[in-house]
Amino acid sequence: MSIPDSRSRVPSLTSSATQGGSSGDGPARVVLEAAGIRRATTRIAHEILERNGSPESITLVAIALGGVPVGEMLAEALRELSGSEVPLGALDVTLYRDDVIGHGRRPIPHKTRMPFSVTGKRVVLVEDVVFTGRTVRAAMDAVIDFGRPEGIQVATLVDRGHRELPIRVDFVGKNIPTSRAEKVVLRQAPGGEYEVVVI
């Protein structure tokens, strides 16, 4: 799904979005199917509007790559509920990660698309899976480069726990208990719809 407004449109992913590495080639357990994802994003959209009021004050910023399809679904749900377009950006936080810089890793950059200022806006960071909290922390740092928001909130399709930083998620589609050795992956099923699996 994508937003009709070309000013806020973010290209859809063409490959699986992952949290923690693998794209998920091994045996996988489906924990959130396409219908469940739709219900979760609709509920999150309701909660975002209830907390923030006017959609004109809200800006969605999806964390590339996995947050982009979730952000697109949320933007569509918000438009259907409120009748207004909510701007959607995509933010690559690779170079803001404290476990990438200074550790000799060669990060693969993703596309950032932020065709607006976040100054004075209530920014909702959108992620597919929140794990240690390091990606969300990096995204908060990155957002400040695009202005001074009124506030930053976090929405995620799946919260799997295991925080390493004091990061709070404001809007959660589903809490899924996992072991640290497992991977939680948002991927496209053969029919083209998204599902969340544990590997």
Question: Percent of the chain having pLDDT more than 70?
Answer: 80
- CA 139 vs. chain centroid, Å, equals 10
* 97 vs 94: which has the higher pLDDT: 94
Q: Write out pLDDT tens, residues 46-73.
A: 999 999 988 999 999 999 989 999 999 9
Report d(CA 129, CA 108) in Å as an integer.
19
Q: Where are the domains of the chain?
A: 30-176
The pTM of this model reads 0.83
Residue 20 is encoded by which pair of tokens? 């923690």
Q: What is the DSSP letter of 182?
A: S
Q: Write out pLDDT tens, residues 23-52.
A: 445 588 999 999 999 999 999 999 999 999
Q: Which amino acid is at 23?
A: S
- Whether the per-residue pLDDT at 98 is higher than 70: the answer is no
Helix, strand or coil for residue 91?
strand
* CATH code, 30-176: 3.40.50.2020
Report d(CA 79, CA 158) in Å as an integer.
22
Which has the minimum average pLDDT: 8-17, 135-144, 178-187? 8-17
Query: Can you name the residues that pair with 187 across neighbouring β-strands?
Result: 195
- Whether the per-residue pLDDT at 186 is higher than 50: the answer is yes
pLDDT band at 195 (very low <50, low <70, confident <90, very high): very high
Closest CA to 167 of 135, 199, 119: 135
Closest CA to 47 of 193, 191, 169: 169
DSSP for 164-181, please give it: SS----SEEEEE----TT
**Residue 111 confidence (pLDDT):** 79
Closest CA to 47 of 165, 190, 154: 154
